Amino acid sequence: IWGALLAACRVYGRANLADFAARKLLELDAKRSGSYSLLANMYSGAGKLECVADVRKMMKEKRIEKNPGCSWIEVHDRVNVFTADGRDHSQIVYILQVLDKMGKVEDMTSNENVNFAVS
């Protein structure tokens, strides 16, 4: 519940309530990086950059590391996991080749490169 309240405080810019929710959340689990990230993101959205720095410093002092974002997709009954900073997928070379080709197709079909006449 405290995490949901903290996230809502970010959306609605309620920094004071966010501080309260964050304290409660950190009392329950002071080792969870997501709680610190929510708080830092809320401060960032409110333009409180000094508070963002304080949260990051607190994380560093407590040796709490933010886990990289990840996503997964299931293809042919196999779950493929991708991390934001990782290139350790077994087919990464093929994936990068396909992405490169997709970028070239996008370049060829962008509005800037398409010539047509309107009659």
75 φ, ψ (degrees, to nearest 5): -130, 125
Task: Give the span between the Cα atoms of 42 and 10, in whole angstroms.
Answer: 4
pLDDT in tens, 41-100: 888 888 889 989 999 999 999 999 887 788 888 989 989 888 877 777 788 888 889 988
DSSP notation for 2-49: HHHHHHHHHHHT-HHHHHHHHHHHHHH-TT-HHHHHHHHHHHHHTT-H
Residue pointed to by tokens 């293809």: 75
| Model-wide pTM > 0.85 | no
What pLDDT is recorded for position 47?
86
Domain ranges for the chain, please list them. Answer: 2-61, 70-110
Question: 26 is written with which tokens?
Answer: 């950190």
Angle of helix 15-28 relative to helix 33-45, nearest 10 degrees, comes to 170
